[in-house]
Every structure is written in C-alpha cells, then in structure tokens.
Structure 1
C-alpha cells in the first residue's frame, strides 16, 4: 500500500506492514476450523447433530476466530495504525505524548498522541518488523525533539535494544556466524 505525502516533493512514501500477520491470520482460521470440525464430529458421533446445535458451534468457532484474529499494524511517515475486525485506531507518531508498557498475560505497548489517538499493540510486532519499528522510532524522535513525548523514553529504548539485538542475530545467522 503506497501513500503519497502532499507536503513533500518526490516519490510516494511506502507504508510499512506487519509481515507475519498472514501467518497468524491463517493460524486463527485453522484453530477455529479445527474446533468447529471437532464439535461437529462429536455431535455426529453421539447422534445429537441438529441445526440449532450446528449454528451454536459455528457461532462458537466464529467467536474463537474473532478473539485470535491479529490486528493489522501499518505505519507510514508520521503515523501508525492498528486495525482489528471492527475498528481501526490511528495516531500521529510525530505527536506522541506517552508510551507505556502494560504488563499482564502478554506484554502490550500503549501509545498516545497529542490529538487523542491511541494504539495498543504487541511489542513483538515491532521487534519482528524493523520497518514498522523504524517508522515509529522516526516519529517518536521528532516528538521527543519537539518536547511532546512526556513519558515513555525508557520503553522505546528497551524496544530499540531488542530490535537491534534481533537484527544482529539475524545478520549473524544469515552470514553463518551464529
């Protein structure tokens, strides 16, 4: 997906996308399909397969898919968006005011901009997709230079170190030095 920035002369600016989303999406579809198949086979084997129960199992498999479906994370020059099944959240990375790491079952990164934009994402997406990280980092550096980024420098620095570590590991692995 390309986006042309009217404020600059020259070629269109490419947006960076999460490269592993397709694999995660297929995994979500497979999990929902396996659950549906197992429930239908059990019902068929016990002789209790009926239209209303089949509809219930389809709804349950659909719910599992909705829960497991990964967000589509995209970043461009000065913006970052996260799109789920029903909504898209977008923010200006060059107007970031806060970056927080949320702990829990899985670590989440909560980004907020000066205009009320809010995006929550898995930091692993940034670690495994250096292009996304570079877009976010460019905007965050501009925001910090403008004095807008009030909290979150430490969280960004930790992610930067993880990205550098993973990039170095990938280079060593590709060159056979691992």
Structure 2
C-alpha cells in the first residue's frame, strides 16, 4: 500500500454540487461558441479556420471553468481536475492555510509533502465533506502532526455552522 492510500473504513463522500457545476461550465462554453459562430455567420466572415478558433476558445473556457471534484474518505481528501489529481492524508496533516485573493483557497499539506488546494466553499456547501475533514484534522492535532492551521479550521467551522443555521432557518420559515 502506498503512503497515499488509506484503508477504506468509512463511506466516501463527494461534492454533491459537482455535476451541476460541470453542466454550468459546459453551458457557458456552448453559449460562447454559439454566440461567436452566430456573429461570424451574421457578418458573413465565417471560415473553417475561424470556426476552429472559436471552438478552441470555447474549449479553453471550459477548461478554466471546469470545477474540481472533491472526494474524501477516512484519512484522505482528493481533488480531481481535468489534467491533475491531488491527494493528501488528512489524518497526517501538518498544515492548513487559507489563501485570500480573487478566489479564496484552502491549502492542506500532509506529512509526506503532498498538498491539495480546494475552494473552502466546497466544504461549506457539503457538510458531510467538512465533517470528514474536521474529524481527520482533529486526529492530526491529537497525533501531534498538525501544528499550523487550527485557526483556519476554526474559521471554516464557524462558516459551516453559520451556513447550516441559515439553511435550517430558511427551511423552517424563520429567516
């Protein structure tokens, strides 16, 4: 067994919004392609070369918009993109950092030097993913490997709790 592979004991959880997000990415790319082709045809400037260029531009937009598929099981978390998969042992985390910027990112590093960057919104929108990560992070703290990142984890816990409470109030009509 490689160091990346944790034995499967608990159920594997996935980002439940991933499939709709993929469809949205495909729709945006298709709309862009359709509009570009429509403008070209209306202007009577369409050629096979320009059609190929518009198709390449739509494919590039799809690659940029394509969401990462975040999956977690007991002791691991994985983020899959079109061309790359990142995986960390969450039961052996050494650091958790929030990177602020245009798109906020959560960076997880394990004792083997592997790292995963994910959108914290994925954890907030998927409490089951968050619970899996939080449980393993607590195991890392108890084991002494996670020395940097408890503040970032606490902030995400607060956001998950806030969003969960908001959803409960909304469903119950108390919002």
- TM-score, length-scaled by structure 2: 0.93
The runs of at least 4 aligned residues of structure 1 exceeding 4 Å deviation read none
Quote the Cα distance in structure 2 between the aligned partners of 1:165 and 1:103. 20
The number of residues matched between the two structures is 170
Q: What is the distance in 2 between the residues matched to 1:176 and 1:48?
A: 55
In structure 2, how many angstroms separate the alpha carbons of the residues matched to 1:148 and 1:14? 24
- DSSP 3-state at the match of 2:24: helix
Q: C-alpha separation between the residues in 2 aligned to 1:94 and 1:103?
A: 25
Query: Aligned with 2:71: secondary structure?
Result: strand
Pick aligned residue for 1:132 from 129, 132, 142: 129
Structure 2 residue aligned with 1:53? 50
Q: For 1:70-126, what per-residue CA distance to the aligned partner results, in whole angstroms no more than 9, with x for missing partners?
A: 000000111000000011100100000000110110111011000121100110110
Runs of 5+ unmatched residues, structure 2 = 1-5
Tell me what 1:153 maps to.
Answer: 150
- Secondary structure in 1 aligned to 2:164? helix
Whether 2:124 is the aligned partner of 1:165: answer: no
- SS of alignment partner, residue 136 of structure 2: helix
SS of the counterpart of 1:33? helix
Stretches of structure 1 lacking an aligned partner (at least 5 in a row): none
Q: Which of 24, 38, 41 pairs up with 1:27? A: 24
Query: Which residue, 110, 116, 119 being the options, matches 1:113?
Result: 110
Query: 1:176 deviation in Å?
Result: 2.3
Q: How far apart are 1:168 and its partner, in Å?
A: 1.4
3-state SS of paired residue (1:34)? helix
TM-score computed with the length of structure 1 as normaliser: 0.92
Equivalent residue, structure 1, for 2:59? 62
Once residues 149 and 168 of structure 1 are traced to their aligned partners in structure 2, the CA distance between those partners, rounded to angstroms, is 28
SS at match of 1:19: coil
Selected match of 1:101 from 88, 98, 107: 98
Q: Are 2:59 and 1:91 aligned?
A: no
Asked whether 1:40 is paired with 2:37, we answer yes
